[in-house]
Amino acid sequence: MAKQLLLVRHGKSDWGNLDLKDFDRPLNKRGKENAPEMAERLVNKGFKPDLIVSSPAKRAKSTAKFFAEAYNIDQIHFEESIYEANTTALLKVVNRLDDSAEKTIIFGHNPGFTDFANELSGADIYNIPTAGMVLISFPFDSWKMVSKGTGELVFFDYPKNSDEV
């Protein structure tokens, strides 16, 4: 069975409290509106994840929870190395995913996510906006096989994208 990886950038975060560490920044009002809206769009596309993995940063965690709720999934796996990760670190996370999961969603951050999507699929995405999602499929039955250029872009969607595919 082919693997499908959905990269979701966290929703818009709140910069209101400058004393907060970057890691602890919450979602702002727009982030709290966009995340469930994007989760619903994903449900409507018929995508059903087997596994949800997220950066433990507050804004990523909150975004992941909206998606988990949309799918009635209780468990979110938190992976510290996703926070501030570059493409090498992100590939390690993907290569370690459980092969019993065909479809995985990973919640994280830019610039790593945009670079990673482009590196895996050869897509030419300039920037994944907040709450944006990129679905990439791989012709493998093991996540260990995933490497640069082995994926195919299925879709790229984001809150301000009105012409959904």
Please tell me the predicted confidence (pLDDT) of residue 163: 56
CA distances from 120 to 24, 88, 136, 145 (A): 29, 11, 8, 12
Nearest C-alpha neighbor of 10 from the set 31, 41, 36: 31
Which are the contacts of 18, defined by CB distance < 8 A and separation ≥ 6? none
Please tell me the predicted confidence (pLDDT) of residue 18: 83
pLDDT along the chain (165 residues), means of 10: 95 90 96 97 96 98 98 96 97 98 98 98 96 98 98 96 62
Find residue 137's DSSP bridge partners: 4, 152
Please tell me the predicted confidence (pLDDT) of residue 165: 45
Buried b (16+ CB within 10 A) or exposed e, 28-39: beebbbbbbebb
Q: What pTM does this model have?
A: 0.96
Please tell me the predicted confidence (pLDDT) of residue 146: 98
Give yes or no for a contact between 54 and 79, defined as CB atoms under 8 angstroms apart: yes
Please tell me the predicted confidence (pLDDT) of residue 1: 74
Sign of the dihedral defined by the CA atoms of residues 71, 48, 100, 77, in that order: negative
Instruction: Provide the 3-class DSSP secondary structure of residue 104.
Output: strand
Residue 6, number of CB atoms within 10 A of its CB: 21
CA distances from 150 to 64, 81, 123, 127, 130 (A): 26, 22, 11, 20, 25
Please tell me the predicted confidence (pLDDT) of residue 105: 98
pLDDT, tens digit (0-9, with 9 covering 90-100), for 41-78: 999 999 999 999 999 999 999 999 999 999 999 999 99
